[in-house]
Amino acid sequence: MSRTLRLITGVALGLLLTGAARAEAKKLKYEELPPAVQITVDAQTSGAKVWEYTVETVDGKTLYRVNLFTHHRPRVITIAADGALVSTDDRIPWQSIPADVQTALLAAARPGTLGEFHSISKDGKIVSYSALVDLDGDKRRISVKFPAAELEAVSSAPATPVKK
């Protein structure tokens, strides 16, 4: 089976699966963040417009999320309680997604409509791409892992409602 076919099959199967329920995020003020998290926030948000800080527990770990705008695009930074940068989620244009990932996303989205594309980075390297899929009002997020040499589909979960 070709790599592209495995990728398309994996993403399609991911649409059928739902991820674990996420904990409800609690909104915070900057002053309520732990000092180690504040240091990372300051380093990562220089010159950016921050609009929200939240905290939630995922798999027993406390994570702080910072929602901001940088370079005229939304970004979500996830920080561990010790101040370590966990990941960066950037909204990106379709044109910046590699061709084989675009093919997999298109195939997995059928017959739905793709929209709102993201790249997820860890340690400064993109590790996955995700897209919002609208299937007759049922919105899901699909993701494709992007390691250096091989693509692998990952499960999708119901999309988080977008606040306007």
pLDDT in tens, 3-61: 554 444 444 434 333 333 345 789 999 999 999 999 999 999 988 899 999 999 999 99
Task: Give the pLDDT band (50/70/90) at residue 96.
Answer: very high
61 in any annotated domain: yes
Task: Name the residue range of residue 95's domain.
Answer: 3-158
Helix (H) or strand (E) holding 4: helix 3-16
Q: What tokens appear for 90 in the block? A: 């950037």
> How far is 76 from 66, CA to CA, in rounded Å?
6
163 in any annotated domain: no
45 in any annotated domain: yes
Task: Give pLDDT, residue 109.
Answer: 84
83 in any annotated domain: yes
Whole-model pTM? 0.71
Task: Give the chain's domain count.
Answer: 1
> How far is 81 from 24, CA to CA, in rounded Å?
17
Let me know if 114 is exposed, middle or buried by CB neighbors in 10 A (0-12, 13-18, 19+). middle
55 in any annotated domain: yes
164 in any annotated domain: no
CATH of residue 111: 3.10.450.360
99 in any annotated domain: yes
62 in any annotated domain: yes
Mean pLDDT across the chain? 79
